[in-house]
Amino acid sequence: MKKRCIIFSLVFCLTMLLSLPLLADGVTNTTSGLTASTETMSEIFEKLRIERANLVGGQTEVMTQANEAKIRVEAILNQSIAENKALTFEQLESLKKDLATIKSAQDILNTVLTDIRTTTTEVGEYMPIKEYLYKLINLYSEKALQLYDVADTLKDVAVNA
């Protein structure tokens, strides 16, 4: 019985230790399930096209939402000028939160830009090899999600002010 316990404990320790690298990496993105190497190049290129379109969609969404937020801010500004009335306590509190949101959005965008630039400049011209294409697909997929998240946060800017 004791022997079994010891073996079980050792196996448990070993499993936990082996899974440490996964934890350290924060479990890297496996959303696209891009581990299969049986895919044809044509299928991989198709995935790249989809993720590229997704990324461009995210980019457009960020720009659209930032523009709409800008319109809302300018409406408040115009109203403030027209009525010559100071902003209320609630409006100012809301603007503080909006500023934090905007600053955070800028930080995320800077990271997205840097990550994409770094990866694409690692190889001068992108190579039609599976590993590199998978890397690009994962990168585009991950960054598109971040862009959509940024766009979502911008929807709340200047809504309550």
Partner 1 sequence: MLTKTSRLFRTASFLSLLTLLVFGLLGCGAEDQKKAQTGDSMMQTSEGLVLEGSGPFPATLLARSNNTLSNEENQLVLQEISMELDKIIDLAGQLEVIDEKSIDEKSQAVADETGEEVSQ
Residues 125 to 144 in contact with partner 1, rule: CB under 8 A = 126, 128, 136, 140
Residue list 29-48, contact with partner 1 (CB under 8 A): 40-43, 45-46, 48
By CB under 8 A, the count of residues binding partner 1 is 72
Q: What spatial distance separates the first Cα and last Cα of the chain, rounded to whole Å?
A: 68
Member of 28, 30, 35, 84 binding partner 1 (CB under 8 A): 84
Member of 30, 31, 34, 76 binding partner 1 (CB under 8 A): 76
Question: Nearest approach, Cβ of 33 to partner 1 (angstroms)?
Answer: 19
| Cα separation, 142 vs 58, whole angstroms | 11
Instruction: Kindly state whether residue 155 participates in binding partner 1, applying the rule CB under 8 A.
Output: no
Q: DSSP letter at 88?
A: P
Nearer to partner 1, 31 or 75 (CB): 75
Nearer to partner 1, 35 or 86 (CB): 86
Contacting residues for 32 by C-beta, under 8 A, at least 6 apart: 47, 51, 137, 138, 141
Q: Which residue has the tokens 């980019």?
A: 59
Query: Do 155 and 61 contact (CB within 8 A), yes or no?
Result: no
Helix axes 41-83, 130-154, angle to 10 degrees: 20
Query: Do 101 and 16 contact (CB within 8 A), yes or no?
Result: no
Identify the CA nearest to 104 among candidates 153, 140, 139.
153
Residue list 95-124, contact with partner 1 (CB under 8 A): 95-96, 98-100, 102-107, 109-110, 112-113, 116-117, 120
Member of 22, 63, 123, 159 binding partner 1 (CB under 8 A): 63
Nearer to partner 1, 95 or 145 (CB): 95
Nearer to partner 1, 31 or 67 (CB): 67
